[in-house]
């Protein structure tokens, strides 16, 4: 099972990975080609995102996958957690769109989620956040087009990533089994599948303003 940065690195890119936790970054670095860079960043902070891009040369391709949001019904999810989800997923994307320095011919790819198309009663916030990311992406595709920069999004359904570790092993397997039963493909999304969609969007000169669903048919059922 490979995360997007492994697949991108295997295509010859020099990759710089960034998130909040050094230990996680170090673990990822051990599995990436030598020369891969890493840096701590919290995308909820406008100044951290600005400093991050100010300290780097321009990029060919920027991919934002990092966010952290809590699930819960609109009635019961504490408001501070809902606000934090917005800060992470929407404002993180906004700050990256505002500050990323990208070369002409390059691209910016966000990750949204299928709940933008098909709301989930237990994750109404996630659906709304994913829709804001896709709206931001389409607007930025127009705004950055004169600079020769394309902007897109990949929209996953349930994907086998560490996100689901919070359910514990048993809870995660129950969740995945119920999804496999429901989905037209009878399987859930693998991180590789997301990575390949990101690569497609980053390398296809005709792709801008696009949301690519990688959802095993989840939006249909
Ligand atoms: N997995 C799914 O089933 C699924 C389905 C639909 C949509 N998505 C979306 O796909 C994206 C990627 O999810 P995932 O499954 O890869 O989640 P994940 O396994 O929980 O990984 C999230 C990554 O983002 C980093 N991150 C979290 N908050 C951050 C912040 N404020 N600043 C910088 N980095 C941050 C985390 O590292 P640190 O904690 O060390 O910062 C971690 O590396 C998310 O936007 C998620 O909403 C996922």
Q: Which of 16, 20, 63 to mutate to test the pocket of ligand 1 (most atoms within 8 A of CB)?
A: 20
Distance CA 5, CA 177 (A): 27
On whether the CB atoms of residues 175 and 164 are closer than 8 A, the answer is yes
Please name the residue that has the structure tokens 């995308």: 43
Could you tell me which of 154, 157, 160 has the C-alpha nearest to residue 196? 154
Compute the distance from residue 40 Cα to the ligand 1 centre, in Å: 14
Domains located in the chain, CATH noted: 4-214 (3.40.50.720)
Could you tell me the CA-to-CA distances from 139 to 142, 150, 214 in Å, in that order? 5, 11, 22
Compute the distance from residue 19 Cα to the ligand 1 centre, in Å: 9
Q: Which of 18, 163, 179 to mutate to test the pocket of ligand 1 (most atoms within 8 A of CB)?
A: 163
**Does the predicted model carry a pTM greater than 0.85?**
yes
The conformation of residue 155, written as its DSSP 8-state character, comes to E
Nearest CA to ligand 1 atom 41: 20
pLDDT string in tens for the chain (221-residue length): 445 666 666 677 889 999 999 999 999 999 998 899 999 999 999 999 999 999 999 999 999 999 999 999 999 999 999 999 999 999 999 999 999 999 999 999 999 999 999 999 999 999 999 999 999 999 999 999 999 999 999 999 999 999 999 999 999 999 999 999 999 999 999 999 999 999 999 999 999 999 999 999 999 99
Q: Angle 203-205-211 (CA atoms, 0-180°, nearest 5)?
A: 75
Compute the distance from residue 95 Cα to the ligand 1 centre, in Å: 16
């Amino acid at each position: 099972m490979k995360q997007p940065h492994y697949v991108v690195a295997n295509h010859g890119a020099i990759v710089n990975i960034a998130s909040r936790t050094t230990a996680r970054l170090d673990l990822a670095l051990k599995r990436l080609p030598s020369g891969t860079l890493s840096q701590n960043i919290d995308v909820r902070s406008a100044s951290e995102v600005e400093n991050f891009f100010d300290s780097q040369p321009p990029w060919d391709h920027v991919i934002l996958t990092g966010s952290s949001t809590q699930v819960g019904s609109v009635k019961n999810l504490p408001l501070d957690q809902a606000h934090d989800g917005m800060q992470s997923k929407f404002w993180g994307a906004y700050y990256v769109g505002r500050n990323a320095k990208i070369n002409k011919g390059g691209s910016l790819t966000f990750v949204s989620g299928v709940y933008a198309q098909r709301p989930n009663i237990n994750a109404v916030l996630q659906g709304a956040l994913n829709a804001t990311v896709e709206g931001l992406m389409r607007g930025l595709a127009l705004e950055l087009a004169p600079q020769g920069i394309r902007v897109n999004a990949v929209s996953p359904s349930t994907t086998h990533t560490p996100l689901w570790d919070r359910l514990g092993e048993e809870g995660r397997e129950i969740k995945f089994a119920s999804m496999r039963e429901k989905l037209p493909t009878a399987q859930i999304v693998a991180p590789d599948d997301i990575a390949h969609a990101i690569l497609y969007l980053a390398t296809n000169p005709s792709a801008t303003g696009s949301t690519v669903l990688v959802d095993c048919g989840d939006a249909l059922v």
